[in-house]
């Protein structure tokens, strides 16, 4: 099998070392003639990538300019060992360069994290454990409805939502899914979800046309002991209105792995509300989980070298829809 010239490209060298462990680097060197060291923004204009056919990257990928890409005459494919590619992939695709993303691999831990929160939330675990700081907090009366027959609402039908749906099939739960594409939304479907689902979990992408769509009117519809989970993006939530509802309805819980901004402003009520549970954007791949993303891209490179179709190729139509540029 031929060994194309390759480079590891990222402005975040720490991320490269986290994602590409010794095992992954050894496999990469077996597949390709890997240039050393890692390529950062400072060295791109030196011509170091002019003879490169394959780029491997992860978080911190350089958003190349048209001029830089014009110089990279031999570049055929970018293997991105992380999730979202919107911030860099449009121009390479316009130049006919293939882009493949480990979005499926990065979506798995988010889905697992979400399902764990759903199951614990249905027990009212978060509220009960926060209140259990003395013998007086030993309260069986506050238990949730449990994980049998409850309805779960998933906002978005992308990779993470699909993983969540698959995992939830192992439990006796009903799911309702709202598509990611606003063109497929129907009148009243958000209201129905918030009114009838014990847990609502947000999985929408970070798009300007979705800012603040999850608002007071919807949060007020949540049933008794309802739970809102956000592992999507904070901009989609009107957080001041969410905080107002949570202050009035102490039976509700909000499990927020993402906020806007991150972290919340020092004066944000999200820190002090007893029914808000903040986590520092950790649902995605962390530590050893990150190697899975590199493994996905190494397998993708093997397909490329065998002239097989890429399994995780980023298509132009998908990207334009994600960027709301269609």
Q: 97 Cβ partners below 8 Å, 6+ apart? A: 69, 75, 76, 77, 78
Residues 132 and 241 in one domain: yes
Q: How many domains are there within the chain?
A: 2
Domain carrying residue 175: 107-278
Could you report the per-residue pLDDT of 149-180, keeping only the tens digit for each?
999 999 999 989 999 999 999 999 999 999 99
Q: How do residues 223-270 score in pLDDT, each as one tens digit?
A: 999 999 999 999 999 999 999 999 999 999 999 999 999 999 999 999
Residues 6+ apart with CB under 8 A from 253: 121, 124, 126, 127, 225, 226, 227, 228, 275, 276, 277
Residues 132 and 243 in one domain: yes
> Is residue 142 over pLDDT 90?
no
Same domain, 212 and 318: no
Pairing of strands 54-57, 253-256: unpaired
- Tens-digit pLDDT profile for residues 50-101: 999 999 999 999 999 999 999 999 999 999 999 889 999 999 999 999 999 9
Whether pLDDT at 125 is above 90: yes
Same domain, 264 and 203: yes
C-alpha to C-alpha distance for 93 and 288, rounded to whole angstroms: 30
Q: Scanning the structure block, which residue is given the tokens 């999985």?
A: 203
- Both 150 and 273 in one domain: the answer is yes
Instruction: Kindly indicate the confidence band of residue 44, based on its pLDDT and cuts at 50, 70 and 90.
Output: very high
More confident residue, 36 or 295: 295
Q: Is residue 293 scored above 90 in pLDDT?
A: yes
Distances (CA, A) of 81 to 8, 87, 289, 312: 11, 14, 12, 11
How many Cβ atoms from other residues are within 10 Å of residue 8's Cβ? Answer: 23
**Residues 211 and 126 reside in one and the same domain:** yes
**Is the per-residue pLDDT at 325 higher than 80?**
no
> For a pLDDT cut of 70, what percent of the chain falls above it?
99
Beta strands in the chain (DSSP E): 5-9, 33-34, 54-57, 77-80, 98-101, 151-155, 174-178, 199-202, 227-230, 253-256, 276-278
Q: Does 172 share its domain with 245?
A: yes
Two tokens, residue 32: 């390709």
118 with 252, same domain? yes
| Domain final residue pick, 246, 261, 278 | 278
97-122 confidence digits (pLDDT tens): 999 999 889 889 999 999 999 999 99
Between β-strands 151-155 and 98-101, what pairing exists: parallel, antiparallel or unpaired? unpaired
Residues 100 and 114 in one domain: no
pLDDT at 322 over 80: no
- For 77, phi then psi, to 5°, come to -155, 145
Q: pTM, whole model, 2 decimals?
A: 0.84
Report angle CA 228, 123, 236 to the nearest 5 degrees.
10
Percent of the chain with pLDDT over 90: 85
Whether residue 75 sits in one domain with residue 137: no
Q: Please state the separation of Cα 68 from the chain's center in Å.
A: 29
Phi, psi of 41 (to 5 degrees): -55, -40
On whether both 140 and 80 belong to a single domain, the answer is no
Of 146, 151, 249, nearest to 197 by C-alpha is: 151
Residue 212 has pLDDT above 80, yes or no: yes
Whether 101 and 116 map to the same domain: the answer is no
CATH number at residue 82: 3.40.50.720
Answer whether residue 326 shows pLDDT above 70: no
Contact assessment for residue 48 and residue 35, using Cβ atoms and an 8 Å cutoff? yes
């Amino acid at each position: 099998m031929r060994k194309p010239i390759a480079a590891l490209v990222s402005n975040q060298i720490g991320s490269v070392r986290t994602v590409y462990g010794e095992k992954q680097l050894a496999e990469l060197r077996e597949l390709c003639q890997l240039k050393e060291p890692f390529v950062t923004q400072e060295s791109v204009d030196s011509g170091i990538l002019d003879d490169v056919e394959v780029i491997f990257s992860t978080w911190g990928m350089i958003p190349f300019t048209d001029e830089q890409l014009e110089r990279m005459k031999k570049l055929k494919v970018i293997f991105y060992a992380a999730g979202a590619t919107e911030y860099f992939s449009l121009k390479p695709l316009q130049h006919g360069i293939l882009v493949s993303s480990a979005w499926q691999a990065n979506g798995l831990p988010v889905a697992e994290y979400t399902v764990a929160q759903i199951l614990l939330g249905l027990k009212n675990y978060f509220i009960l454990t926060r209140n259990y700081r003395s013998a007086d907090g030993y309260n069986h009366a506050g238990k949730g409805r449990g994980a049998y027959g409850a309805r779960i609402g998933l906002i978005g039908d992308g990779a993470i939502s699909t993983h969540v749906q698959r995992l939830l099939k192992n439990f006796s739960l009903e799911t309702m899914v709202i598509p990611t594409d606003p063109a497929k939304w129907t009148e009243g479907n958000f209201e129905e979800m918030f009114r009838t689902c014990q847990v609502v979990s947000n999985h929408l992408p970070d798009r300007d046309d979705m800012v603040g769509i999850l608002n007071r009117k919807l949060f007020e519809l949540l049933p008794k002991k309802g739970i809102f989970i956000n592992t999507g993006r904070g901009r989609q939530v009107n957080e001041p209105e969410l905080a107002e509802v949570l202050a009035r309805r102490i039976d509700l819980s909000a499990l927020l792995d993402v906020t806007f901004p991150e972290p919340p402003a020092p004066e944000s009520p999200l820190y002090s509300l007893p029914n808000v549970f903040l986590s520092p954007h950790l649902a995605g791949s962390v530590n050893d989980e990150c190697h899975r993303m590199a493994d996905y891209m190494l397998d993708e490179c093997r397909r490329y070298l065998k002239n097989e179709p890429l399994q995780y190729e980023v298509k132009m139509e998908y990207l334009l829809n994600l960027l709301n540029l269609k």
